[in-house]
Amino acid sequence: MPSSQRRPRPGQASTVSPANENRPVDAPEPLDPSQATNPAVAPVSDRRPSADSAGGPVPASPPSAPGTPASSPGGLLDSIFSSKSELFRGSREVLRDSYVPSRLPHREQQLRQVAEILGPALRGDLPSNLLIYGKIGTGKTAVVAQVRQDLQRRSDAASGITFITLNCGNIDTPYSLLQTIANTFAKTEAERIPTGWSLDRVQSGMRRLMDARGGILLLVLDEVDRLVARSGDNVLYTLSQINTELETARLAILGVSNDLKFTNHLDARVRSRLNEEKILFPPYDATQLQDILRDRAREAFRDGVVDPGVVERCAAYAALENGDARRALALLRLAAEMAERDHAKRITPDHVVKAKNRLEQDIIIDCCRTLPPHCKVLLYAILQSFERRRTGVLTGEVYDSYRRLAERLGLQPLHARSISNYVSELESLGLIRATIVSRGRGGRTREIIVDVPISETMPALEEDPLIAPVGRPKPRGQMLLTNFDNPARTGPF
């Protein structure tokens, strides 16, 4: 079971598609934050409607045209796919992680602190760098998103603030981080930094693009602890001293970490620069979680459909899990899903119990979905080998299978060393177990065993556009069953 501390944020799968360019080793495919679903960068003056943001509300499908044939004999599928829900008031997105609620109960103090630190940007002054840290599900991302929305509302086109939000959990290497940041500023295709440049050239290209944008750049590095655990803090050093080299732009960094001891892993200079201000987000207790859930339940569900005890039970379970609001919301969402499947008119505490059992499995799937691209390919290679052999697989073999898969996908394989780090990361997420085995004079290697249900995990990865081209052919009907079985995996809700 992945530890709740380390699992990546569900629902934030990267939108990477396999690219065919020649890339240097360890400089994987570019993540393109300018793609439609990624609001990574938005000049604050861009007043976008909220539906424009990642995972924003999905527009309801238009009603079927008159004369459209019945969707299935006897209306069987009509009843399943009927868009009108007895439980939900409107969009189910309200219960998703990507939804930014209008109110964040029990985070007033943190909201005020973040706003006070970023506020000077509205007057054209560079804010201090800020480090936000707290366990998973303590509202860090939500608070930053809300302050960002608020800043966007208040600023006008003249204020020259650009907000960039990146989730470092989805980014493989420091190289792709810098390239991604740089390309958020590229206005045309020709300005984009291609993959294949040296790191130095990417850095100077990034500075040039930043200066061309000018003004104050607020860079949010969410889950920055994952990047540092993976590849050290050099990239943070580069970013934290960039103002000495920029001419017209100035950068402030907001690091967000799920690891409370994150700063212990930083070089003293980087630590003191990033730590100019820091804010701790404490875990929620059960009563606070109830308040959060009640707000959301009111927004999400029709009146009277949530039985007494439902919110309390979700909150109690999540309070035991480090006060994780994400876990609490996921339980409520799944409980509603269980109720719908039972064709129940109300959500009951029993549905919460069922949801709790189900959640473990979904966390694994979410965890896989949010891995960085090469790590996904590696995990798929491990699953394939394990499925064939049903015994432990040695790292050398795993690396070979990974390399073959990466090549088939048009990706330049990473070095064995990077892959070895990813093996450790997959192990720390609880997806695999690796034990050191001695190979006589051949030295020591690691034997890998899969620690998740293959029958669930492989299809989940195969649904990922990155892995799909090398996935197994789908038996007829599997798609429907898989999706229906776990709608959270593909569709909205």
**Residue 101 binds which entry of Mg ion, ligand ADP, none, CB below 5-8 Å type-dependent:** ligand ADP
Selected range binding ligand ADP among 132-140, 155-163, 203-211, 367-375, rule: CB under 6 A: 132-140
Site string for ligand ADP, 49-88 (x = CB under 6 A): ----------------------------------------
Name the residue among 393, 391, 387, 399 with its Cα closest to residue 456: 387
- Smaller CB separation from ligand ADP, 96 or 213: 96
The least CB distance from residue 138 to ligand ADP, in Å, is 4
Selected range binding ligand ADP among 27-35, 104-112, 158-166, 404-412, rule: CB under 6 A: 104-112
The least CB distance from residue 194 to ligand ADP, in Å, is 33
Measured CA to CA, the distance from residue 127 to residue 121 in angstroms comes to 6
- Smaller CB separation from ligand ADP, 314 or 368: 314
- Smaller CB separation from Mg ion, 224 or 434: 224
- Cβ atoms of residues 250 and 126 within 8 Å: yes
11 binds ligand ADP (CB under 6 A): no
Measured CA to CA, the distance from residue 405 to residue 407 in angstroms comes to 5
- Smaller CB separation from ligand ADP, 277 or 397: 277
Residues 6+ apart with CB under 8 A from 204: none
- Smaller CB separation from Mg ion, 144 or 305: 144
- Smaller CB separation from Mg ion, 29 or 324: 324
Residue 322: count of CB within 10 angstroms of its CB:
16
Which 3 state secondary structure label does DSSP give 203?
helix
Query: Cα 211 from chain centroid?
Result: 29
Measured CA to CA, the distance from residue 134 to residue 343 in angstroms comes to 39
Identity of the amino acid at 452: V
Helices within 190-324 (DSSP H only): 199-213, 224-231, 234-240, 268-274, 286-300, 310-320
Q: Residue 134 belongs to what H/E stretch?
A: strand 130-134
138 binds ligand ADP (CB under 6 A): yes
- Smaller CB separation from ligand ADP, 134 or 174: 134
User: DSSP string of 9-73?
Assistant: PTT---------S---TT--PPP-TTSTT--SEEETT----GGGSTTPPPPPPPPPPTTPPPSSG
329 binds ligand ADP (CB under 6 A): yes
- Smaller CB separation from ligand ADP, 215 or 323: 323
Residues 217-256 that bind ligand ADP (CB under 6 A): none
Site string for ligand ADP, 260-299 (x = CB under 6 A): --------------------------------x-------
The least CB distance from residue 220 to ligand ADP, in Å, is 11
321 binds ligand ADP (CB under 6 A): no
Residues 6+ apart with CB under 8 A from 337: 355, 487, 488, 493
The least CB distance from residue 243 to Mg ion, in Å, is 26
Name the residue with the smallest CB distance to ligand ADP: 139
**Residues forming the site for ligand ADP (CB under 6 A):** 97, 101, 104-107, 134, 136-142, 292, 325-326, 329
